[in-house]
Structure 1
Amino acid sequence: MIYIGVTGWGEHESLYAAGTSPRDKLKEYAGHFPIVEVDASFYAIQPKRNVEKWVSDTPESFQFIVKAYQGMTGHQRGEIPFTSKKEMFDAFTLSLEPYQKANKLAMVLFQFPPWYDCKRENVDYLRWCKQQMGDIPVALEFRHQSWFSPQLKDQTLLFMEQEGWIHSICDEPQAGSGSIPLVLHPTNQQKTLVRFHGRNVHGWTKPNEGNWRDVRYLYKYNKKELEEWVDHVQKLNNGSEIIYVLFNNNSGGDAASNAKQFIDMFGIEYRGLAPRQMDFFS
C-alpha cells in the first residue's frame, strides 16, 4: 500500500476554498490526501486539546506522521522547558495518546540535524530514544552524510533493522556533509517513509538566517524525476508493506501539486477521504 501526502496542512492554498479559516484547513486537506506530517510538534509539544481537534477533524482512516520535538533531536531552537530528557520524552509521548486512541498514529519522525554525525555517543543516544518510545512506531532521518559513508552504511542500516527504526528515505540536494545520499533500503517490513525535500542545492547550503526555509525547499519536481521515483517506490513496496510518501517542497507551493501528480502516476484513488468543500464559483 502506498499513502501520499505533504508536510503540514496550513501552507497549501491550492487545496482550500476561498476564505477558509485556518482552523478548518485540516478538514479540507483531508479531502485530498490520506496522510499528513505534523510539523507543529517539532516547535512545541502540543497540548492534548490540539491533537484531539486534529483527530476529530479527520476521517477514520486518516493517518498522522508526527515530527519529534526539537529538544529530542538536538535542534534546540530556543529554550527547552524541561528539566531532563526523560521529562521531555514523557511529555511528548503523553501528547500522542489522542492519535493512538483513534488508531491514527502512523509513526513519529526523528529527524536529526546536519551536525549529528555517526559516532558512539550518538548511536547510544539513538538506542536510548528507541527505548523511551516503547512500542510507538518511530522513523529515523539523518542529515549528516557520515551515517551512509561507504564504510558505515551497512552498519547503519543493520543497526536500524535491529533496533526497529523505520527508515526515512530522502530525496534531497547532494550538498556535501550536511546531506545524505539516496539509500533505497527498507529497514522495517511493515513501514517505510519517503520524504521529498526538493533538489535546490543553492538553497540547501544557504546560511540559516532570515527566511532560509523559504529558499531551502523551493523546488518543483518535473515529470521525469517523479517517474523515476514511481519505480523506486514500487521496489520499496516489495520490502515493506506500507510506503508513506511526503512532499516537503513547500516554499513555492509545489508540494500539493507534486503529490497529486504522484498519486495520478500510480493510478491511486483513495477511499474514505473527507468530503471536499466547494468554492462559491466552483
Structure 2
Amino acid sequence: MIYIGVTGWGDHDSLYASGVSSRDKLKEYAAHFPIVEIDSYFYAIQPKRNVEKWVQETPETFTFIPKAYQGMTGHQRGEIPFETKEDMFKAYMDSLQPLQETNKLSMVLFQFPPWFECRKENVDYLRWCRAQMGDIPVALEFRHQSWFKGEMKEKTLQFMRSEKWIHSVCDEPQAGEKSVPTIVNATDSEKTLVRFHGRNVHAWTKPVKGQEWRDIRYLYRYNKQELQDWIPHIRQLEKQSKDIYILFNNNSGGDAADNAKMFIEMLGVEYTGLAPKQLDLFND
C-alpha cells in the first residue's frame, strides 16, 4: 500500500476553508491524507495530552510519523533538558504511548544533521539509538554524503538492514557533501519511507542574503514531469517493501499539499476511511 501525506498540518492553506481555527486543522487534514509527519516532536517531546488529542481527532486508520527529538539526533546545541540520554529517550517513548496503543504509529523518523558523518563513533551511536527504541519501527535519514559515497553505499544499506532501520529515501537538492543522492533501495520488507524536500539547491546549505534561510530552504514546487519520473522508483520500492510512506516537505511556499495530491492522482491511489470532508459547524 502507498500512503501519501505532508509534514505537519498547520501550514497547508490550500487544504482549509478560510476561517478554520488551528485547533481544527488536523481534523480537516485527515479528510485529505492518511498519514502525517509530526515535526513538532523535533522541537520538543510532546506531552501525552497533545498526542491523545491527535489520536481522538483522526480516523481509526490514520497514522503518524513523529520525528525524533533534536537532542536525540545531535541537532540541539547547548544543554539537553534531561539528566541523561537514557532519560531523554525514555521520555520520548513514553509520549508515544497513545499512538502505540491505538496502532497509529507508523514509525519514528531519525533525521541526522549534515555534520553527522560516516564515522565509527556515529555508527556506534546509531546502534545505541536503535537499541533504545526497542521494537518501535524507526526510519533513518542522513544529510551527509559520506554515508553513500563509493563503497560505503552498500555497507550503509547493509548496516540499516541488519540493525532494522527503515531507509528514508530522499529527493533533495544535490549540493555537495551536505546532501545525499536518491538511493532507491528498501532496507525493510515491511516499510519504506520516501521524503520529498524539493530541489532548491541555492538555499539548501547557505543562507540567502536578506531572507530567513528556513523560510526558503524548502521553497520548491515539483512539476508533473518530475513526479512522473519518480513513479518507476515507487514501483521498484513496492517490490521490496509491503508499504511505502511518502511525505512532501517542500512547503516554504505552500506547495507540499498540492504536490502530494498530484502524486496521489498520478499513482492512481484511492483511500477509504478518511475523515469527512467538511467539519460539522455545530460541533464544540
Say which SS state the counterpart of residue 93 (structure 2) adopts.
helix
Q: Does 1:211 align with 2:229?
A: no
Q: How does 1:107-146 map to 2 (within 5 A)?
A: 107-146=107-146
- Greater shift in the superposed pair: 172-181 or 74-83: 74-83
Q: Does 1:227 align with 2:228?
A: yes
Aligned residue in 2 for 1:253 = 254
Q: What is the CA-CA distance between 1:207 and the residue it aligns to?
A: 3.2
Give distance in 2, aligned partners of 1:197 and 1:79. Answer: 29
CA contact (8 A) 1:18 1:279 kept: no
CA contact (8 A) 1:17 1:278 kept: no
Aligned residue in 1 for 2:40 = 40
Give distance in 1, aligned partners of 2:59 and 2:217. Answer: 32
Distance 1:44 1:78, change over 3 A: farther
Give distance in 2, aligned partners of 1:77 and 1:108. Answer: 22
Q: How does 1:77-156 map to 2 (within 5 A)?
A: 77=77, 79-156=79-156
Q: What is the CA-CA distance between 1:266 and the residue it aligns to?
A: 1.1
Aligned residue in 2 for 1:185 = 185
Deviations 1:197-227 (A, max 9, x none): 0000001022399621111100000011000
> In the alignment, residue 41 of structure 2 is paired with which amino acid?
S
Equivalent residue pairs, number: 280
Aligned residue in 2 for 1:240 = 241
Aligned residue in 2 for 1:8 = 8
What is the TM-score with the length of structure 2 in the denominator? 0.96
Q: What is the CA-CA distance between 1:60 and the residue it aligns to?
A: 0.1
CA contact (8 A) 1:45 1:95 kept: yes
Aligned residue in 2 for 1:273 = 274
Say which SS state the counterpart of residue 105 (structure 1) adopts.
coil
Deviations 1:5-57 (A, max 9, x none): 00000000010111111011000000000000000000000000000000100
- Greater shift in the superposed pair: 75-84 or 114-123: 75-84
Say which SS state the counterpart of residue 177 (structure 1) adopts.
helix
Q: How does 1:168-183 map to 2 (within 5 A)?
A: 168-183=168-183
Q: What is the CA-CA distance between 1:151 and the residue it aligns to?
A: 2.1
Provide structure 2 residue ranges, at least 5 long, that are not aligned to the other structure.
Answer: none
Give distance in 1, aligned partners of 2:167 and 2:279. Answer: 38
Distance 1:217 1:78, change over 3 A: farther
Distance 1:138 1:153, change over 3 A: same
> Which runs of structure 1 show a deviation greater than 6 angstroms over 4 or more consecutive aligned residues?
none
Deviations 1:70-89 (A, max 9, x none): 00000005642101110000
Give distance in 2, aligned partners of 1:196 and 1:266. Answer: 15
Deviations 1:108-165 (A, max 9, x none): 0000000000000000000000000000000000000000001211110000000000
Aligned residue in 1 for 2:59 = 59
Provide structure 1 residue ranges, at least 5 long, that are not aligned to the other structure.
Answer: none
Give distance in 1, aligned partners of 2:83 and 2:250. Answer: 35
State the percentage of identical aligned residues: 70
CA contact (8 A) 2:184 2:237 kept: yes
> In the alignment, residue 92 of structure 1 is paired with which amino acid?
Y
Say which SS state the counterpart of residue 107 (structure 2) adopts.
strand
Say which SS state the counterpart of residue 24 (structure 1) adopts.
helix
Give distance in 2, aligned partners of 1:198 and 1:125. Answer: 29
Say which SS state the counterpart of residue 229 (structure 2) adopts.
helix
Distance 1:272 1:78, change over 3 A: farther
CA contact (8 A) 2:195 2:246 kept: yes
CA contact (8 A) 2:28 2:279 kept: no
Say which SS state the counterpart of residue 160 (structure 1) adopts.
helix
